[in-house]
């Protein structure tokens, strides 16, 4: 991903999701950039996501979205579900 592509992704996300914070969007872009060259997300962002740091949460989301359906079979992916508040029926 080139710097221009990163910038465009950031602007597109900001436009489509105006409630997302700049750190969350920046993390998403970083995760999107890292995904093609890594077996999994950087461990520091997995740890920081557990404390709900916006950049780390964005990073994991960007990484998972770009990994595609295969992400759901990876151990780190389960913690994303753990962080989401589920509405009870």
Residue range 53-67, pLDDT digits in tens = 999 999 999 999 999
pTM of the model: 0.87
| Amino acid 84: pLDDT | 66
**Interatomic CA distance for residues 44 and 48, integer angstroms:** 6
Evaluate the CA torsion angle 15, 41, 1, 65 in order and state its sign: negative
**Interatomic CA distance for residues 24 and 19, integer angstroms:** 10
Give the single-character DSSP code of 25.
H
Residue range 1-28, pLDDT digits in tens = 899 999 999 999 999 999 999 999 999 9
């Amino acid at each position: 991903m080139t710097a221009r592509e990163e910038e465009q992704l950031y602007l597109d996300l900001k436009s489509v999701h105006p409630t997302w914070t700049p750190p969350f969007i920046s993390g998403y872009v970083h995760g999107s950039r890292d995904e093609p060259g890594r077996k999994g997300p950087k461990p520091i962002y997995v740890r920081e996501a557990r404390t709900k740091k916006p950049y780390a949460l964005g990073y994991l989301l960007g990484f998972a979205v770009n990994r595609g359906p295969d992400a759901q079979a990876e151990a780190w992916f389960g913690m994303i579900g753990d962080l989401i508040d589920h509405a009870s029926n």
